[in-house]
Structures are given as structure tokens and as C-alpha cells.
């Protein structure tokens, strides 16, 4: 004779099963149709969670209502990204959109995907030494050129056209960092700029950049450099913190950046950071989403998207390369604000209200 289950126990069991079902679905959206895996590298740089992920997901949902998105963030761990990539393949992903933590180490994921007939879109950072279907990013060498050109214009205005400068580059495992560095170095060498100290910054760590800047200040002295080339806004923030702690006014040592992070825009408004490079992530994420949906559905890539080819040490990869823009205080309104990259309500908080008003940002 079967035993009846008490109502209270039945409710508890039902709630438990609901929790399990919700937990199993974490990191995914949509369902029932093609599966698209979005694998992002880290969250130290605010752009990934604030812009890349939501912009990509919204575009996919707009053009493919029944697509399922398998999302993962590796938190700067190569081994974690490896596991996430393998998990996405196991879950039946039809396409991988991969922003690599380490452009070479991630090759094993790409090769396994190819064996399974799963195309890989290399997103933002070009995977090296493995066959990817497409690459979506910006003209990264041009980013470095823009940073260097804009910085040298400022130094010429201030009467120190040759520097000396401190150069804080990005992560040695990121091929984009090598391209930024190559672009900037080309400009500095052409103009005869004195690079007094130069560092490569593991994992793009702001803390490590701060340590590097402290070492440079110790070696050169407070007056031994005229400016700082920092490859992105995180490293710029670290360099600026080091200057402040050493009693140096960052307003007197123009510092570059990249990514148009909220904190960087605020620093630019009050004069602590000189410039950043704005990369309009919306078109980058949208282009990647359109490609991913087309590949997942077995269709052709939308015509007109591919505009270049990039060598990844295996082949010339069909690529979408977008144009970066140099942003200083005077054009924040025409770029960051106009594109609603950051809402003015977030930019113009507390101590930044007056600076916003002065810059015409309301």
C-alpha cells in the first residue's frame, strides 16, 4: 500500500525542485533554438559586464528569439576559461564567441571546437595559433597610435616634445596589448620620444601598474618624467594613484588610457587623466552577435560586415575592425554622452558635478 505524502512535504519538495531548475539555468538565456556560447575573459575591466555582455545578449535576443545564450566569465583565469569552453561544447553550443584570457593557451578550446564542427568567433582579442572562423575587434595598432599622437600633442603644447615618459603597457599574454604597444612605439620612435622607463603589466592589473609607477618614480625622481603612456584606464588609474601617493599632481603629468571606463571619464573631467580611447562596444558586440546567430543557424554572414583580414599565425582570418576615437575633456559630450555609453547621472555624481557643468555636460 503506497504512503501518501503530507501536503507540507509536497510543497517543500516542489520548491526544492524549482530552485534546482533555476540553478541549472544560471548563465543561460532563451532556449529551444540554437545555442551560442559567449566566453568573456575577466571583470576587472568594467566594459565586459557593463557593456559587452548586455549588448551582445540584447542583439541576439532581438534577431533570434529562440536562441539560447551560454554565458561565462573566466575572471582572468586561463584554466577556468578552458573549463568553461569545454562545458559550452558539452552543452551543445553551435558557435563559440571567445574573448581569450591568453590568446595562445586558449588554442586547445578552439581546436576541440573545430573537431566538433563548432565555429569560433574570436572576439576583441585575436586567438593565435588556432583556426578561428572570424575576428571582431578594433584596429588595435591604431589605438596605440592615437594614444601616442594625442599625448605628444599635449607635450608639445607644454614645451616637452620629447618627454621623457614612462610607458606602462598591457598584459604580455594579450595580443591586443602587443598591438597597442607596437602602434604607440612606432609614433614615439618616429618623434624621438625619450621612453625613460617601460613596463609590461601582467593581467592588466591596476595594482601592478601602481607598483610599476612607484618603481619609475623612485628611479627617475618626481621631476624625471613629463608624462605617462598607460595602455588602458585600469593601468592609468594605478599610475595616477602612485603619483598621488608620491606627492605628484597628476594634472601636471598627462596620462593616457583606453576603454572609456566611468572612473576614467570622471578623472578626465577633473584633470587627473588626460585622455582615453573610446571604442564603441555596441557595434562590436552587435556585429559579433549577428555573426554568431548566422553561424548558429547555418546561414551566410551578413554582407558588408567583414572589412579586413588579420594574420593569427595559422591563416588570414576574415575580420571586422572598427575605428577607435581619442577622447579628451573637450569631446566627452560629443562621444561618450552622445552615444549614451555612460548616463550623465552616473558621470556627474558628487564631486564631478561642477566639472560636468564646466564641460557642458548636463
Q: For the segment 232-262, what is each residue's pLDDT rounded down to a tens digit?
A: 999 999 999 999 999 999 999 999 999 999 9
Stretch 201-206: mean pLDDT:
95
* Model pLDDT, residue 4: 38
pTM of the model: 0.82
Domain assignment present for residue 165? The answer is: yes
What is the distance between the alpha carbons of residues 59 and 285, in angstroms, rounded to a whole number? 8
CATH at 187: 3.40.50.2300
272 and 292, same domain (yes or no): no
- Residue 13 belongs to some domain of the structure: no
Indicate the burial class of 112 (C-beta count within 10 angstroms; 0-12, 13-18, 19 or more): middle
Contact 121, 94 (CB under 8 A): no
Checking if the pLDDT of 23 tops 50, the result is no
Q: What is the pLDDT of residues 332-352, one digit of tens each?
A: 999 999 999 999 999 999 999
Owning domain of residue 265: 140-279+325-358
- 285 and 180 both lie in a single domain: no
Is residue 81 over pLDDT 50? yes
Answer yes or no: is 226 within a domain.
yes
Q: Report the pLDDT averaged over residues 303-316.
A: 94
At 28 the pLDDT is 52
163 in a structural domain: yes
Confidence of residue 15 (pLDDT cuts 50, 70, 90): very low
Q: Rounded CA gap, 321 and 138, in Å?
A: 5
9 pLDDT higher than 80: no
pLDDT of residue 8: 35
Q: What is the mean pLDDT of the chain?
A: 91
Amino acid at each position: 500500500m503506497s504512503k501518501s505524502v503530507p501536503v507540507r512535504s509536497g510543497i517543500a519538495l516542489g520548491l526544492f525542485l524549482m530552485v534546482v531548475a533555476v540553478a541549472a539555468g544560471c548563465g543561460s538565456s532563451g532556449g529551444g533554438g540554437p545555442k551560442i556560447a559567449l566566453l568573456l575573459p575577466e571583470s576587472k575591466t568594467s566594459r565586459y559586464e557593463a557593456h559587452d555582455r548586455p549588448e551582445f545578449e540584447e542583439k541576439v535576443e532581438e534577431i533570434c528569439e529562440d536562441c539560447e545564450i551560454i554565458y561565462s566569465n573566466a575572471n582572468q583565469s586561463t584554466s577556468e576559461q578552458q573549463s568553461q569552453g569545454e562545458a559550452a561544447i558539452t552543452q551543445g553550443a553551435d558557435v563559440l564567441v571567445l574573448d581569450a584570457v591568453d590568446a595562445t593557451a586558449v588554442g586547445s578550446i578552439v581546436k576541440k571546437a573545430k573537431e566538433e564542427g563548432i565555429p569560433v568567433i574570436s572576439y576583441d582579442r585575436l586567438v593565435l595559433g588556432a583556426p578561428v572562423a572570424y575576428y571582431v575587434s578594433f584596429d588595435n595598432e591604431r589605438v596605440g597610435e592615437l594614444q601616442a599622437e594625442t599625448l605628444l600633442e599635449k607635450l608639445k603644447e607644454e614645451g616637452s616634445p620629447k618627454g621623457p615618459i614612462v610607458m606602462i603597457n598591457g598584459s604580455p599574454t594579450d595580443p591586443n596589448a602587443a598591438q597597442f604597444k607596437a602602434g604607440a612605439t612606432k609614433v614615439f620612435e618616429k618623434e624621438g620620444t625619450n621612453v625613460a622607463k617601460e613596463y609590461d603589466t601582467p593581467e592588466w592589473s591596476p595594482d601592478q601598474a601602481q607598483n610599476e609607477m612607484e618603481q619609475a618614480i623612485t628611479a627617475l625622481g618626481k621631476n624625471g618624467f613629463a608624462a605617462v603612456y598607460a595602455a588602458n584606464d585600469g593601468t592609468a588609474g594605478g599610475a595616477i594613484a602612485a603619483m598621488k601617493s608620491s606627492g605628484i599632481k597628476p594634472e601636471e603629468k598627462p596620462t593616457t588610457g583606453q576603454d572609456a571606463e566611468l572612473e576614467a571619464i570622471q578623472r578626465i573631467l577633473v584633470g587627473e587623466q588626460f585622455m582615453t580611447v573610446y571604442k564603441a562596444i555596441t557595434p562590436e558586440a552587435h556585429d559579433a552577435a549577428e555573426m554568431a546567430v548566422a553561424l548558429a543557424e547555418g546561414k551566410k554572414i551578413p554582407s558588408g560586415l567583414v572589412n579586413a583580414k588579420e594574420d593569427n599565425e595559422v591563416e588570414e582570418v576574415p575580420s571586422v575592425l572598427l575605428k577607435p576615437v581619442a577622447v579628451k575633456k573637450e569631446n566627452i559630450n560629443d562621444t561618450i554622452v552622445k552615444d549614451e555609453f555612460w548616463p550623465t547621472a552616473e558621470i556627474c555624481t558628487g564631486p564631478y558635478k561642477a566639472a560636468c557643468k564646466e564641460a557642458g555636460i548636463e
